[in-house]
């Protein structure tokens, strides 16, 4: 690791003042920052520890209007919260199936949303080409080893996959992110927080310099109880998704009234599959309907050799998730 | 800075980059906590921070100020009697080379305390953050199961 200064923020106002400086990086759970600083991928000059904000911004609250999750709540706490387990199973499952219990005890919700890609060319500085790490240097993954990389939302500059699980559950449920920054507070649909790589894959989110996520707001809806997260992986536990699907269904009198779908392991950002949702609405959910929806979700897939299997894996994952959710008692 | 480890407050001067793992091993001579991958992937450095199992290799020592750290050295009784989980690992031969064992035991103690040792499948799922290159997994599961009974009876 390169040398850095360490400061501990007492509250959000102090964090914003310290975190807005050039070269500053926020430290929450540390599971991304410390890892990538050791690898010399992230090079903070000042580390601003947000640990002091946990008491004020770490609460979990549920009422009739929805679920509010403090940005500093830990993954493990939220995964076991009774209201989350009962009314938002897709959220609980996306957390339970992510990382290991040690990491879930450390990692905060906002830090989880902002985790960086595991693209091997991004994480290994001995590769000179990575547009995400060194803008304009090229992409070694296109034409390289890319079995785990994205097929949706890719560009000629970057095919790195978004690695998380939790963000997919939240994107499916129309979550809104509460932000605070030097210019005041604002909200943003989570779906708009992460950017497509385009020609600037090094700019991953719409966050302004120093801006902090303070809370996540999940609106109550008829589809949250009939929801699940299906994650397909190379090994049974403690593994990133090869493909995953977050689905939530409102089924009324045998037909889908509304569907919510987000896909993981296959896309450059938490991926909302709106075409698939539209196809399901108004019809009974059988295998033919699920397959048609999955075909629509992957219609725009672009593969690069090693990851040619991903669209079919993603389709099958989504079909299975939809049929499982339809069979739930909710 | 001051760091509380196993109930004792230590004063030490560390570079901000120093991980808790390196502080324990290199500054406090508590070498029971092992450095495996040093990247958060193997669980060999698992310790308890304020009662929760976490990874010392991804924790900055300065960020652990004001928290209570427990390592494998802090698990046995004052009279040297082994913790039920330590005894269960001995009884069930839950290791071969032993390098991952301190992390496995710290993780397993927390696994039982969290209520995540209800079945063999649950033990395997909630112990998945601790890798064993010798593949002593069947005996580790047996040890956790046996220790759970003792810990819950205590």
Does some domain include residue A36? yes
Residue B145 C-alpha, separation from nearest chain A C-alpha, in angstroms: 18
Please state, rounded to an integer, the average pLDDT across all residues of chain A: 98
Are residues B113 and B67 part of one domain? no
The tokens of A143 are what? 């034409």
Residue found under tokens 């305390």? B113
Are residues B70 and B89 part of one domain? no
Please state, rounded to an integer, the average pLDDT across all residues of chain B: 97
Instruction: Tell me the pLDDT tens digit for each residue of A207-234.
Output: 999 999 999 999 999 999 999 999 999 9
Burial class (CB in 10 A: 0-12, 13-18, 19+), B129: buried
DSSP per-residue string spanning B38-71: SSSSS-TTEEEETTEEEEGGGSBGGGGTTSEEE-
Does some domain include residue A310? yes
**pLDDT on residue A329:** 86
Does some domain include residue A214? no
Cross-strand bridge partners of residue B10: B3
Does some domain include residue B37? yes
Interface mutation target, options A53, A100, A116, chain B, most CBs of B under 10 Å: A100
Mean pLDDT computed over A171-187:
97
Nearest to B105 by CA among B118, B92, B121, B119: B92
Sheet holding B8-11, edge to edge: B8-11, B2-5, B68-70, B46-49, B52-55
**How many structural domains are present in chain A?**
2
Is the CB of B55 inside 8 Å of chain A's CB atoms?
yes
**pLDDT on residue A71:** 98
Mean pLDDT computed over A57-71:
98
Phi/psi at A20 (5° precision): -80, -10
Contacts of B58 in chain A (CB under 8 A): 30-31, 34-35, 106
Residue A56 C-alpha, separation from nearest chain B C-alpha, in angstroms: 18
Contacts of A38 in chain B (CB under 8 A): 38-39
Instruction: Tell me the pLDDT tens digit for each residue of B95-128.
Output: 999 999 999 999 999 999 999 999 999 999 999 9
What CA–CA distance (Å, rounded) separates B136 from B141? 9
How many CB atoms lie under 10 A from the CB of residue A104?
26
A238 and B129 in contact by Cβ < 8 A? yes
Are residues B105 and B142 part of one domain? yes
Q: At what angle do helices A310-327 and A287-297 cross, to 10 degrees?
A: 140
Interface size A-B, in CB pairs within 8 Å, comes to 76
Q: What is the ipTM of this complex?
A: 0.98
Are residues B88 and B70 part of one domain? no
What CA–CA distance (Å, rounded) separates A44 from A46? 5
Contacts of A102 in chain B (CB under 8 A): 43, 46, 53-55, 107, 129
Are residues B35 and B8 part of one domain? yes
**Under a CB-based contact definition with an 8 Å cutoff, are residues B132 and B104 in contact?**
yes
How many CB atoms lie under 10 A from the CB of residue A10?
9
What angle is formed at CA A252 by the lines to CA A250 and CA A255, rounded to 5 degrees?
90
Does some domain include residue A216? no
Does some domain include residue B94? yes
CA trace torsion A212, A187, A207, A42 (10° rounding): 40
A30 and B129 in contact by Cβ < 8 A? no
The tokens of A5 are what? 């200064």
Helix, coil or strand: residue A37: helix
Mean pLDDT computed over A262-273:
98
Domain encompassing residue A242? 227-327
Q: Where residue A330 falls among pLDDT bands split at 50, 70, 90?
A: confident
B54 and A6 in contact by Cβ < 8 A? no
B39 and A38 in contact by Cβ < 8 A? yes
B58 and A34 in contact by Cβ < 8 A? yes
Does some domain include residue A210? no
Are residues B140 and B118 part of one domain? yes
Chain centre to alpha carbon of residue B99 = 12
End-to-end CA distance of chain A: 50
**pLDDT on residue B154:** 67
B17 and A106 in contact by Cβ < 8 A? no
Q: Which of B18, B45, B74 is the last residue of a domain?
A: B74
Cross-strand bridge partners of residue A256: A251
Does some domain include residue A165? no
Is the pLDDT score of A36 beyond 70?
yes
Does some domain include residue B61? yes
Domain CATH code at residue A28? 3.30.43.10
Chain centre to alpha carbon of residue A137 = 26
Domain encompassing residue B50? 2-74
What CA–CA distance (Å, rounded) separates A191 from A204? 13
**How many structural domains are present in chain B?**
2
Q: Where residue A189 falls among pLDDT bands split at 50, 70, 90?
A: very high
Burial class (CB in 10 A: 0-12, 13-18, 19+), A97: buried
Are residues B101 and B56 part of one domain? no
A3 and B17 in contact by Cβ < 8 A? yes
Nearest to B95 by CA among B141, B54, B134, B146: B134
Contacts of B54 in chain A (CB under 8 A): 102, 105-106
DSSP per-residue string spanning A171-222: HHTT-EEEEEETTEEEEEEGGGTBPP-TT-TT--BSPPTT-EEEEEEEE--T
- Residue among B16, B19, B107 whose CB faces A4 most closely: B16
Contacts of A4 in chain B (CB under 8 A): 16-17
Contacts of A6 in chain B (CB under 8 A): 16, 60, 62-63
Helices and strands in chain A: count of H runs, count of E runs: 13, 12
Does some domain include residue A155? no
Are residues B69 and B26 part of one domain? yes
- Residue among B16, B114, B126 whose CB faces A5 most closely: B16
**pLDDT on residue A109:** 98
B128 and A103 in contact by Cβ < 8 A? no
Q: Residues of chain A with pLDDT > 70: what percent?
A: 100
Domain CATH code at residue B55? 3.10.20.30
Q: Which sign does the torsion angle of CA A40, A42, A44, A48 carry?
A: negative
Does some domain include residue B139? yes
Is the CB of B111 inside 8 Å of chain A's CB atoms?
yes
Does some domain include residue B79? no
Residues of chain B with pLDDT under 50: none
Domain CATH code at residue A312? 3.30.390.50
């Amino acid at each position: 690791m390169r040398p850095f200064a360490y400061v501990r923020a007492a509250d959000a106002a102090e964090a914003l003042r310290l975190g807005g400086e050039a070269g500053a990086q926020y430290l929450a759970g540390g599971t991304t920052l410390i890892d990538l600083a050791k690898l010399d991928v992230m090079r903070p000059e000042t580390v601003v520890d947000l640990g002091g904000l946990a008491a004020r911004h770490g609460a979990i609250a549920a009422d009739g209007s929805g679920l509010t999750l403090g940005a500093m709540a830990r993954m493990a706490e939220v995964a076991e919260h009774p209201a989350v387990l009962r009314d938002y199973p897709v959220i609980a499952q996306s957390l339970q199936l992510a990382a290991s219990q040690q990491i879930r005890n450390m990692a905060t919700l906002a830090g989880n949303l902002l985790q960086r890609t595991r693209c091997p060319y991004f994480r290994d500085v001995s590769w000179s080409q990575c547009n995400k790490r060194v803008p304009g240097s090229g992409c070694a993954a296109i034409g390289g080893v890319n079995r785990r990389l994205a097929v949706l939302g890719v560009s000629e500059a970057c095919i790195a996959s978004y690695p998380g699980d939790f963000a997919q559950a939240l994107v499916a449920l129309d979550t809104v992110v509460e932000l605070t920054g030097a210019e005041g507070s604002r909200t943003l649909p989570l779906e708009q927080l992460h950017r497509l790589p385009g020609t600037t894959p090094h700019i991953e989110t719409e966050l302004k310099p120093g801006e902090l996520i303070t809370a996540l707001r999940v609106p109550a809806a008829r589809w949250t109880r009939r929801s699940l997260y299906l994650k397909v992986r190379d090994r049974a536990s403690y593994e990133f998704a090869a493909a995953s699907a977050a689905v939530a269904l409102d089924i009324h009198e045998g037909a889908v009234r509304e569907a919510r779908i987000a896909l993981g392991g296959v896309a450059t950002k938490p991926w909302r599959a709106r075409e698939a949702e539209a196809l399901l609405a108004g019809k009974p959910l059988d295998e033919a309907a699920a397959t048609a929806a999955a075909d629509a979700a992957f219609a725009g897939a672009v593969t690069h050799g090693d990851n040619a299997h991903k669209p079919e894996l993603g389709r099958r994952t989504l079909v299975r998730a939809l049929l499982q959710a339809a069979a739930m008692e909710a | 800075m001051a760091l509380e480890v196993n109930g004792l407050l230590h004063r030490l001067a560390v570079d901000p980059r120093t991980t808790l793992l390196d502080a324990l091993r290199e500054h406090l001579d508590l070498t029971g906590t092992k450095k495996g991958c040093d990247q958060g992937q193997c669980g060999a450095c698992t310790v308890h921070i304020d009662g929760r199992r976490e990874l010392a290799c991804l924790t900055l020592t300065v960020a652990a100020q004001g928290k209570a750290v427990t390592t494998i050295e802090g698990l046995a009784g004052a009279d040297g009697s082994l913790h039920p989980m330590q005894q269960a690992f001995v009884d069930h031969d839950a290791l071969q080379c032993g390098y991952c064992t301190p992390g496995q035991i710290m993780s397993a103690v927390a696994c039982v305390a969290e209520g995540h040792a209800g079945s063999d499948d649950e033990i395997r799922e909630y112990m998945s953050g601790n890798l064993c290159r010798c593949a002593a997994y069947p005996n580790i599961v047996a040890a956790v199961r046996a220790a759970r009974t003792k810990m819950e009876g205590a």
